[in-house]
Structure 1
């Protein structure tokens, strides 16, 4: 980030801010150029506060009574961004969805904190490549470089506060936005350094390196949905678990080979250190989803993990979602019958997945017209596999594409219509087959699952 440009931005903010009104009401509105949705939805955490339809001029507005001061976010599908709202604010925004974040500008009462956090967000995005280069440095030099970037942002925040005095909570959240962003990189450093430097072991870091940890908090509700804070916590508990897991994990080549032990350890650390319930719930969810979706452990180990998860987090707000994921994964273990999901063929007939795989070796793969690059790549891959691995039938299942577009894309992509189907209920399909990531494929033979967590690029060499 160019420091002088950001200084200029801060000091050219139009006019001096009005004093906060005594009214508890808040007005938040604006204009969206090239809208991609008909609505703007306002959230506090993961709870919908209100929704506003765009009018004929692509404008929206919220009039809110007696809100809680703090960080919110608004969504104009598929994009979302922060907004800080305080009692008495009358805040406007304007953006163009072609460059959503880059074009976004706030004006009115409350503009200063919001424009500052937006500029910090954009600057952080621009620094990712630079910090990737820093990971090759030794720990002392890396820490010095990162601290320098952090201090520059804090200086800018202090200058802003002198020019346009912020409330105590605004300063707290803006400071956390800066500090936890760089703390996140420090937590990642030992693992990134080992991988990039090709060293055999993770570097042993001093107490001085981790000195920033003494100021962190596990108990501030206002920070729970601040992106850098949450990302820091995810990296922090991964680091703590790795460094403290000296038995049972069988850590080799920077990977925990005993995934069950490692993830149980992580759950217990989160349970012992995190006080704020919503943060704890979200971190527990992160561990569970990461383990269940990415590890592909044995059914016995998955059952043990879920027992620990329920014991430590029985009233987790995400428990239903995790249980559904758990049940879905149990149902697609090897040698189990592929779920009785119905899809629609080119002629409009409903066909079940077991009937498609009956009496043959089948590879089910997934695609959507919304991701053209993925569609082009996977079409080439299927044509290649059809030649190289002809003993399999390659069956494409389309998700979230309208009927006419789906039919027109098949010949354009060289896909055989006889082996192409549409999912009528994307949610049902995703829940039953755990469609993640999009390169996933399911290998089945005669109605039975061989591998429900294959990869269309890696499972066939």
Structure 2
């Protein structure tokens, strides 16, 4: 997957899962699903359908497995396994009587994935569509700098080409309605997504000016949007479309009520509008809960105005019926209230490379940047490289890394050696879940800055922000 999408998708998946309950799904037969993993990083493959983990499958001595799904429901399934860049996943379409095998190399997860057996042609089509889409993203980003009409013309040609390819494939390989609806939905909602994000990624004007310059029929497809597209519910492109669609229509509503000219994700009014729109338009409880939680978490993660958190929390809790997500968001708000500038770090136990248990406060002896990582996310190498660059530029500041999710001490040490990270600067939490809650570690790549006394300077910043070095200079000038 695209690295940023991969990070975000996994982040969201840890707390907001989507599931589609539909009378159109069938359970009229069994299916087999198996595969071979080259260069496995673990002996397990996790197979899921929506919110439900069906099984954790063990690889045999040849790094293969085969699993029978009784009374299979037509639709998308997810399989996950550890690869060279962390925990990877892909979607697979399974229908009754399928007997599908995959082969992949963990060193090149998506690029090496290939299917054989009954059901292989449709799934190879899907993985190629996915890989082509990753390449197209850069092309479409370039097109997004064009005037609206020219952008639309080029985008139309891409969609027409894909639909013609699908017709040629179906003429040669007559396919099920499930497959055709899935691919058509993917093509159309990818197209819609590109048009939804156009005003945000066209850099010639402000977002307000970009909206005002759009042709009157630019968003005509919106009358055809299905906010409960069951066959696409578990598919990331559909979810991504809905996320950006609600950003778009919420911003338009916000502009009507304010003098703002640019998109500000920290705007309270904008986020309250977005929550209301999601609540009023999305049919599926599961999908609605996911989008609501994501909106609340994004605002809380970006905004430094603690006084506005309760308004978002109250709006969110009034609209969701997911108790687990509600607890998560509520705990996050309460934790951030306790992490105000000038407050001491909470009491957290960490473990160093030599298996010594320490208090986090006790390793702070000069101005310090604390950054978090997990092998589940591909960003950990980027974070460590950035920290190393900054460490050289700012020797007066200490940089320490904490693996925020590992519970396996031996595996964590192996990762430190594998990536040649500085052992003296690496730690894990004794109790990861408690620590993540107390420190409001969401998203995983957030960063904290503390002074030499362990007092919080900024509990929620980002090493990759263009303003981060200004924060470091301010820290040194205190």
Distance, in Å, in 1 between the alignment partners of 2:34 and 2:222 is 39
TM-fit CA distance, 1:157: 1.1
Higher relative contact order (CA 8 A, sep 6+): 2
The correspondence of residues 124-273 of structure 1 with structure 2, limited to 5 A, is 124-193=133-202, 195-196=203-204, 201-204=209-212, 205-246=214-255, 249-252=258-261, 254-256=262-264, 259-273=267-281
Mapped contact 1:363–1:444 kept (Cα < 8 A): yes
Q: Partner residue of 1:319?
A: 326
Separation in 1, partners of 2:367, 2:358: 15
Tell me if structure 2 keeps the 8 A contact 1:367–1:375: no
Hey, what does 1:362 align to over in structure 2?
367
Which of 306, 310, 335 is matched with 1:328 structurally? 335
Assess, with a 3 A threshold, how the Cα gap between structure 1 residues 339 and 248 changes in structure 2: closer, same or farther.
farther
Tell me how far 1:69 sits from its aligned partner: 0.8
Q: CA offsets per residue over residues 384-437 of structure 1, 9 Å max, x none?
A: 222xxx4xx625143247575688799x7778x4x7654333333332223345
User: Cα distance 1:369–1:90, how it changes in 2: closer, same or farther (>3 A)?
Assistant: closer
Instruction: Provide closer, same or farther for how the CA distance between residues 52 and 318 of structure 1 changes in structure 2, counting only shifts above 3 A.
Output: same
CA distance in 1, matches of 2:400, 2:431: 15
Retained in 2: the 8 A contact 1:249–1:262?
no
List alignment gaps of at least 5 residues for structure 2. 1-26, 474-478
Q: Structure 1 residue 113 and structure 2 residue 122: aligned?
A: yes
The CA deviation string for residues 47-74 of structure 1, in whole angstroms up to 9 with x for no partner, is 2112211000111111011121111111
- The yes-or-no answer on 1:380 pairing with 2:389 is yes
* Contact in 2 for aligned 1:281/1:317 (Cα 8 Å): no
Who is 2:433 aligned against? 427
> 2:79 matched to 1:74?
yes
Please list, as runs of the form range in 1=range in 2, the aligned pairs for 1:39-78 lying within 5 A after superposition.
Answer: 39-77=44-82, 78=87
Report if aligned partners of 1:27, 1:91 keep a CA contact under 8 Å in 2: yes
Pairing 1:288–2:296 present = yes
Partner-residue secondary structure (3-state), 1:256:
coil
The TM-score, its normalising length taken from structure 1, stands at: 0.84
Alignment deviations for residues 185-241 of structure 1 (CA, whole Å, 9 cap, x no partner): 100111211x25679832422331112212210022222111111111011000000
Kept after mapping to 2: 8 A contact 1:263/1:287: yes
| Cα distance in 2, alignment partners of residues 112 and 136 from structure 1 | 36
| Separation in 2, partners of 1:236, 1:200 | 16
Q: SS of the residue aligned with 1:246?
A: helix
Contact map agreement 1:250 1:257 (CA 8 A) in 2: no
1:460 aligns with 2:456: no
* CA distance in 2: counterparts of 1:114 and 1:439, whole angstroms: 36
Per the TM alignment, residue 331 of structure 1 is displaced from its structure 2 partner at its CA by: 2.3
| C-alpha distance in structure 1 between counterparts of 2:459 and 2:156, whole Å | 45
Aligned match for 1:394, one of 380, 390, 398: 398
Unmatched 5+ stretches in structure 1:
1-21
How far off is 1:352 after superposition? Answer: 2.1
Asked if residue 36 in structure 1 is aligned to residue 48 in structure 2, the reply is no
Number of corresponding residues: 427
Cα distance in 1, alignment partners of residues 248 and 181 from structure 2:
25
For the structure 1 residues 274 and 404, does the alpha-carbon distance in structure 2 shift closer, same or farther, using more than 3 Å as the test?
A: closer
Rate the CA distance shift 1:385–1:244 in 2: closer, same or farther, 3 A.
same
> Counterparts of 1:74 and 1:100 in 2: how far apart (Å)?
12
- In the TM superposition, what is the alpha-carbon distance from 1:29 to its structure 2 partner? 0.8
State the Cα deviation string for residues 130-153 of structure 1 (Å, max 9, x = none): 111101111111111111111111
Name which of structure 1's ranges 227-236 and 35-44 shifts more when overlaid on structure 2. 35-44
Answer yes or no: is the 8 Å Cα contact 2:266–2:299 preserved in 1: no
- Cα distance between partner residues in 1 of 2:325 and 2:68: 30
Q: Which residue of 2 aligns with 1:8?
A: none
Residues 91-135 of structure 1, C-alpha deviations (whole Å, 9 max, x = no match): 111112222212211122222221111111011011111111101
* Cα contact 1:249–1:256 (8 A) shared by 2: no
In structure 2, the residue matched to 1:343 is: 350
Q: 1:62 to 1:321 in 2, by over 3 A?
A: farther
Counterpart pick for 2:360 among 353, 359, 366: 353
